[in-house]
Structure 1
Amino acid sequence: MRRLIDVRPGPGARVLLGGLPILALLVFYFLASETRHAANPADKVLPTFGAMAAAVRDFVTDRDPATDRVVLVADTLASLYRLGLGLGIASASALLLGLLLGVVPVARALLAPTVAVVAVIPPIAVLPILFIVLGLDEASKVALIAIGVAPFMVRDLAGFVAGLPAEQFAKAQTLGAGGWQLALRVALPQMMPRLLEAVRLSLGPAWVFLIAAEAVASDLGLGYRIFLVRRYFAMDIILPYVAWISILAIAANAALLSVSRRGFPWAHGSWR
C-alpha cells in the first residue's frame, strides 16, 4: 500500500489540485454573496459577480482625463512603472553591496552593521520623511520600494556569497585570479539565480509599499484607486482591483522563475 507521503502528482494533477481550493473559495463567496443579497439587495459588503463585472466594464471603457487612457490601463501602467523602477534600483544596489560584503571581509565588517540597522526600520515609518525630502511625485514612491526591500536583499546575497566554499576562491587564486576576478568570475555567476530568487520573494513587500505610497499621495495607480473608492464602500471595485494586483504579482513571479530556470538551469537541478 502506497503511503500518502510517497504520492508524486504529475503536472496535470498539480494544476487540478492547486485549482481546487481556489474554486472552493469562489463557490463559497458566490453562495455567501447570493445569501446576503437575498436578504438585502443593497448589500455592499459582498457584491455579486455580476456587480463586479459591471464595475470592471466601466473601468475598461472609461478614460482617465489626465492621461486619456483607459482607467484600468492607466492605473496599471503607473503602478508597474513605480514597482519596476523601485525593484530595479533595489536589485542593482543589492547586487553591488551583496557582492562587496560577501567577497571583502573588511567591507562586511564596515557596512554590515549599518545594513542590519536599516533593515529593522519600518519602511512605512520613513514614508513621511521621503515625502518631505523628495516631494509627493514619483521619486518618493520609488524610494520607498527600494528602501523597503533592498536591505533584506543585500543581507541575503552577502550571506550567500560569504557562504560559498572557500575552496573555490582558493583554487581561483592559485590560477592567478585577482580580487576583481574573484568577484566577477567566481561569486557573481553564482549570485545571479539567488538575486532573481530574492526579487521574487520581495514582490509581496514591494506591492505593499507601493500601495501604501499611492494611497497617501497619488492621483493615479492601483493603490490610489482602491483607497479612492473605499470611502464609498465600493467593494465591487476594490475586490476586482485586488484580484488584478494578485494576477500581476503571479505573472511577475512566473516570469522571474522562467528567466531563472532558462538562464541558470544548474541552480534548479536541471541541465538543458
Structure 2
Amino acid sequence: MRRLLNARPGGGARFLLGLLPILALALLYLGVASARHSENPRDKITPIPAAMAEAVQTMAFEVDPRTGEVPLVADTKASLRRLGIAMGLAAATTLVLGLVIGLFPYVNAGLGPVTATISVIPPIAVLPILFIVFGLGEVSKIVLIFVGVTPVMVRDLAGHVRALPEEQIVKAQTLGAGAWLTLIRVALPQALPRLIENLRLSLCPAWVYLISAEAIAADVGLGYRIFLVRRYLSMDIILPYVVWITLLAVIMDLALVAWSRGFYGWAHPRRAH
C-alpha cells in the first residue's frame, strides 16, 4: 500500500489515465444511443453522432438569415463578454477588499461579518430582485455573476491574507514600512496567486449563474440557445453546446493555471517523484 501511495504516473501515463474515463463515458453513450435508435430510429433523447455533426454544421458554420450571424459564434461572443466583464470586476473587487479586510483589523471588524453573511446567500434567490432593479438587459446578468462569486472570493482571500506569518508584517514595519508599503510589498505578492486560484474555483458557479440568467431573459447566448431548443427536445444541439461550454471552461482553467505558474512559480512547489 505504501508503494502505491508513493507511485506517481509520468506525463504520458497521466494523460492516458485522465483520458480513459472520458473514453469510457463516450463509449457508454454510443452504446446507449445505438440501442435506442435500433428500437426507435426517430429517438431524439440520445442523438447519434451523425445527427449531432449535422446540428454542429448548422449552428457553427451557417449564417442564420434572421440575424445575419452564425448562431454558435454569436452565442459564444455574448456569453464570454458577460462572463469576462463580471469576472474582471469580481477579481478587482476581491483583490482590494481581500487585502484591506485581511490586513487591517478595524476593516475586518466592520466588513468581515457582512461579507461572510452575503457569501452564504444563494445568488439565484436574488435573481428576480436583480431583474427588477437592473432590468432584463446585460447589467442584471453581469451583476448576478458578480454577486454570486465575489463575496466568497473576498472571504477566502481575506482569510489567506490574515493567515500570513506575523513575522513578515513585523519585519516590514521594523524596516520602516508603513501600512501602504506593507500592503504592496508583503501582502499583495502573496495574495495574487490565491486570487488566481479563487478565479479558477469560481469558474463553475460563474457559468451556472450566466446560463441561468440567459435562460430566463436573453435573446443571444449559450444558455439562451440551450433553453430555446429544449422545447423541441433538440438534444442534437444541446449536447454539442454543453460540450462547447465545457471546452471553454477547461481552456479558461488551463489559462489561469499557466498564468499562475508563469508569474508565481514559487506558489507551486513541485512534489518529489
Q: Which bin holds the TM-score, normalised by the shorter protein?
A: over 0.9
**Is 1:61–1:70's contact at 8 Å kept on the other side of the alignment?**
yes
> Structure 2 CA distance, aligned partners of 1:165 and 1:137?
45
Partner deviation per Cα, 1:37-65 (whole Å, 9 max, x = no partner): 00001111111011111101000223245
> Structure 1 CA distance, aligned partners of 2:232 and 2:5?
49
Alignment partner, residue 8 of structure 1: 8
**Is 1:83–1:145's contact at 8 Å kept on the other side of the alignment?**
yes
Alignment partner, residue 27 of structure 1: 27
Q: How many residues get paired?
A: 270
> Structure 2 CA distance, aligned partners of 1:32 and 1:83?
35
Q: Write the mapping of 1:68-87 to structure 2, written as runs, cut at 5 A.
A: 68-87=68-87
Q: CA RMSD in A?
A: 1.3
Unaligned runs of 5+ residues in structure 2 are none
Q: Write the mapping of 1:138-149 to structure 2, written as runs, cut at 5 A.
A: 138-149=138-149
Q: How far 1:69 sits from its partner (Å)?
A: 2.5
Q: How far 1:97 sits from its partner (Å)?
A: 0.4
> Structure 2 CA distance, aligned partners of 1:254 and 1:76?
19
Alignment partner, residue 206 of structure 1: 206
- Structure 2 length-normalised TM: 0.96
Structure-2 change in CA distance of 1:25 and 1:103 (3 Å): same
AA aligned to 2:16 is: L
> Structure 1 CA distance, aligned partners of 2:65 and 2:160?
48
- Structure 1 length-normalised TM: 0.97
**Is 1:67–1:74's contact at 8 Å kept on the other side of the alignment?**
no
- Range moving further from structure 2, 66-75 or 137-146: 66-75
> Structure 1 CA distance, aligned partners of 2:63 and 2:199?
33
Q: Write the mapping of 1:174-189 to structure 2, written as runs, cut at 5 A.
A: 174-189=174-189
Is residue 2:46 matched to residue 1:46? yes
**Is 1:193–1:267's contact at 8 Å kept on the other side of the alignment?**
yes
AA aligned to 1:46 is: T
- Range moving further from structure 2, 107-116 or 57-66: 57-66
> Structure 2 CA distance, aligned partners of 1:164 and 1:2?
34
Q: How far 1:117 sits from its partner (Å)?
A: 1.2
> Structure 1 CA distance, aligned partners of 2:64 and 2:150?
33
Partner deviation per Cα, 1:165-185 (whole Å, 9 max, x = no partner): 000000000000001011111
Q: How far 1:269 sits from its partner (Å)?
A: 1.4
Alignment partner, residue 133 of structure 1: 133
Unaligned runs of 5+ residues in structure 1 are none
AA aligned to 2:21 is: P
> Structure 2 CA distance, aligned partners of 1:64 and 1:212?
24
Alignment partner, residue 170 of structure 1: 170
AA aligned to 2:229 is: V
